[in-house]
Structure 1
Amino acid sequence: MFILSLTYVKPNDEADRHMEPHMAWVKEGYAKGWFLASGRKVPRTGGVIFAIGDRTAIEAYVAADPFTLNGVAEYKITELAVTMAVEGLEILKG
């Protein structure tokens, strides 16, 4: 499993200008079966996506995020070897 932590490097109004294409990109990540959960950080300094799949493919997909392409946010990708999960979240153990 991967934790994709994105941090805004431009003001929120700049992020807002690119939010629609970014959200289309997020929805496509769900459609591909890679994204499991996502949301904004509180306070709003970026966001987090929980993902599964091949690291190389995930990295390439992150590089194609409109936030990345427009210099709005930077990503940190952390791989996590899940060893325990509540019932129903066994998919995280990958």
Structure 2
Amino acid sequence: MFVVTVTYTAPLDEVDPWRPAHGDWLNDLIARRLLLVAGRQVPLVGGVYLAPRMPAEELDRLLATDPYVLNGVANHAVVEFTPMLVASGLEILKSEE
């Protein structure tokens, strides 16, 4: 599983025009369960995603299609981790390794 942080590399007025396309991109990935959670950082300096287990190269390819990245207004940092403990009801996220 992966935690992805998004950091804006441009002022918000340069990020905002790409927000609708970025939202469509997120909705598509969530619908296909390629992302599990997406939200804004507080304060608004970027976002955070939770992505399921997949080859790291596949995640890199997906993230490269982010309209924010394609338009040079944000970048991503990825941390891979193995979920060992989960809250009740979220057992599907627990690693089988």
Provide the TM-score with structure 1 as the length reference: 0.94
Q: Cα offset for 1:53?
A: 3.5
Q: CA RMSD in A?
A: 1.0
Structure 1 gap segments, 5+ residues each: none
Deviation beyond 4 Å, 4+ runs, structure 1: none
Rg bigger for which structure?
A: 2
Which stretches in structure 2 are left out of the alignment for 5+ residues? none
1:86 alignment partner, SS class: coil
TM-score under structure 2 normalisation? 0.91
Q: How does 1:83-94 map to 2 (within 5 A)?
A: 83-94=84-95
Amino acid at match of 2:6: L
- Equivalent residue letter for 1:30: I
Aligned residues of 1:34 and 1:53 also touching (Cα < 8 A): no
Tell me which residue corresponds to 1:25.
25
In structure 2, the residue matched to 1:78 is 79
Q: How many residues align?
A: 94
The sequence identity of aligned pairs, in percent, is 37
In the TM superposition, residue 85 of structure 1 has moved relative to its aligned partner by: 0.1
